[in-house]
């Protein structure tokens, strides 16, 4: 009888611990690079609210989807979008085969290092520049080019490989959300196949949860082997009002959390926070000129005007990098 009791006690402890680690703890302590304060509380409270089974705002695990912009939200986008740096390096490498680039914008500006000229070609020009330098090979070949470039180049100011120019607090947030049954998905204006080269290794986000802008592709046999060929034609620019369209296209249901940093993310956050159930929209505000950069309204990359003006009235969370984060990089 006494040993039966001991057995019961063992069972109670085992079961009790299991319940606690599953139902109660939410691993909020893993957000170690976030300062305690209102911002962290809003995130943690939201996660607790949608994961606690007895909560009126409980959301089943399969519906816990959190979408993230990439440039300026998960990694650095200053002094220039990283993929744009890659594209400029590619333009220089490919210029010999494209004499017309010497007179055609935005390629002329790219070859001359004329960033104002590139900017003057507008977002469409920038995307064209990126797409034109990202096509004409198989997708596997492109991935190898990107992987090699990421291994051999470093950020000019931060002096580290670009894959280490990722925000430590956001890495912790991704893990924290995964641990709480969320599926984390990238919805970026950046090129999807560029991001897929490093997203799984760096962010823990697999290719099938990484989406962005894309070129058209075709399938063909090359030397008898099936290959996906990248065509020099834009398929989809996953930015601004296209982000909710991309969400429908690639995910097919409304996420409940959205993290962005620029007005390119405005419609994504607007769409996510217009759902009938609980939702949280958040903007990473770049306010740390010492450890990273400080910019918003006047920046070419990651311009933030509307989001800044309307965050409060829309009850979107503004993440202040300088005051909310203890540490920016890993």
Indicate whether 60 belongs to the interface with a copy of itself (CB under 8 A): no
Q: Which of 185, 187, 189, 311 binds a copy of itself (CB under 8 A)?
A: 185
Using CB under 8 A as the binding rule, whether residue 22 contacts a copy of itself is answered as no
Angstrom CA distances, 293 to 2, 36, 81, 239, 290, stand at 66, 22, 13, 22, 7
Mapped to the 3 state alphabet, what secondary structure does 121-147 carry? CHHHHHHHHHHHCCCCCEHHHHHHHHH
Give least dist CB 306 to a copy of itself, A.
Answer: 14
Do 298 and 276 meet the contact criterion of CB atoms below 8 Å apart?
A: no
Number of helical (H) and strand (E) elements in the chain, helices listed first: 14, 8
Is residue 150 within the footprint of a copy of itself (CB under 8 A)? no
DSSP state of 304: -
Our CB check for a copy of itself shows the closer of 108 and 183 to be 183
| Cα–Cα nearest to 188, from 152, 153, 225, 214 | 214
Nearer to a copy of itself, 101 or 266 (CB): 266
**Farthest CA pair distance, the chain:** 92
Nearer to a copy of itself, 107 or 271 (CB): 271
Q: Which is nearer to a copy of itself, 172 or 270 (CB)?
A: 270
**Which CB sits closer to a copy of itself, 61 or 112?**
61
Give the integer Cα–Cα distance in Å for 81 and 117.
Answer: 15
Determine, following the binding rule CB under 8 A, whether residue 249 of this chain makes contact with a copy of itself: yes
CB atoms inside a 10 Å sphere around CB 276: 6
| Sole binder of a copy of itself in the list 77, 128, 193, 324 (CB under 8 A) | 193
- SS3 at position 275: coil
| 206 is an interface residue for a copy of itself by CB under 8 A | yes
Instruction: For the segment 293-322, give every residue that binds a copy of itself (CB under 8 A).
Output: none
Contact residues for 236 (Cβ-Cβ < 8 A; gap 6+)? 213, 214, 242, 246, 249
Using the minimum distance from each CB to a copy of itself, give the nearer residue, 245 or 294.
Answer: 245
**Two structure tokens written together for 301:** 């990359």
Binding segment for a copy of itself among 115-123, 147-155, 204-212, 314-322 (CB under 8 A)? Answer: 204-212
Applying CB under 8 A, does 263 fall inside the site for a copy of itself?
A: no
Out of 93, 208, 233, 309, which residue is the one contacting a copy of itself (CB under 8 A)? 208
Candidate residues 37, 113, 207, 277; the one interacting with a copy of itself per rule CB under 8 A: 207
Q: Nearest-CA neighbor of 282 among 253, 307, 305, 260?
A: 260
Distance CA 309, CA 315 (A): 11
Segment near a copy of itself (CB under 8 A); pick from 15-23, 82-90, 153-161, 263-271? 263-271
82: enclosing H helix or E strand: helix 82-94
| Binding-site member from 44, 47, 65, 256 for a copy of itself (CB under 8 A) | 65
Task: Convert residues 216-245 into a mask of x (bound to a copy of itself by CB under 8 A) and - (unbound).
Answer: -xxxx----xx-x------x-----xxxxx
**Minimum CB distance to a copy of itself smaller for 74 or for 80:** 74
Q: Alpha-carbon torsion 275, 278, 284, 285, what sign?
A: positive
Per CB under 8 A, residues contacting a copy of itself are 3-4, 7, 10, 62, 65, 139, 183, 185, 192-193, 196, 200, 206-210, 214, 217-220, 225-226, 228, 235, 241-245, 248-253, 267, 270-271, 274
């Amino acid at each position: 009888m006494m040993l039966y009791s001991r057995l019961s006690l063992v069972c109670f402890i085992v079961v009790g611990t299991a319940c606690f680690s599953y139902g109660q703890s939410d691993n909020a302590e893993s957000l170690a690079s976030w300062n305690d304060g209102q911002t962290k509380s809003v995130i943690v409270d939201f996660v607790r609210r949608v994961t606690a089974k007895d909560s009126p705002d409980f959301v089943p695990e399969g519906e816990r989807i959190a979408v993230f912009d990439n440039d300026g939200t998960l990694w650095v986008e200053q002094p220039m979008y990283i993929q744009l740096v890659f594209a400029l390096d590619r333009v220089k490498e490919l210029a010999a085969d494209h004499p017309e680039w010497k007179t055609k914008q935005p390629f002329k500006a790219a070859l001359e290092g004329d960033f104002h000229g590139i900017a003057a070609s507008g977002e469409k020009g920038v995307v064209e520049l990126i797409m034109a330098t990202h096509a004409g090979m198989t997708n596997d070949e492109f991935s190898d080019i990107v992987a090699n470039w990421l291994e051999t180049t470093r950020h000019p100011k931060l002096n580290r490989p670009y894959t280490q120019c990722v925000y430590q607090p956001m890495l912790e947030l991704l893990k924290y959300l995964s641990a709480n049954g969320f599926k984390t998905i990238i919805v970026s204006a950046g090129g999807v196949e560029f991001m897929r080269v490093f997203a799984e290794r760096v962010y823990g986000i697999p290719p099938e949860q990484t989406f962005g802008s894309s070129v058209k592709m075709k399938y063909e046999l090359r030397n008898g082997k099936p290959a996906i060929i990248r065509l020099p034609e834009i398929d989809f620019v996953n930015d601004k009002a296209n982000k909710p369209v991309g969400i429908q296209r690639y995910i097919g249901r409304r996420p409940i959390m959205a993290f962005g940093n620029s007005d390119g993310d405005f419609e994504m956050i607007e769409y996510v926070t217009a759902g009938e159930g609980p939702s949280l929209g958040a903007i990473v505000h770049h306010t740390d000129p010492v450890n990273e950069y400080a910019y918003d309204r006047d920046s070419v990359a990651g311009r933030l005007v509307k989001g800044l003006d309307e965050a409060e009235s829309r009850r979107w969370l503004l993440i202040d990098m300088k005051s909310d984060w203890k540490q920016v990089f890993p």
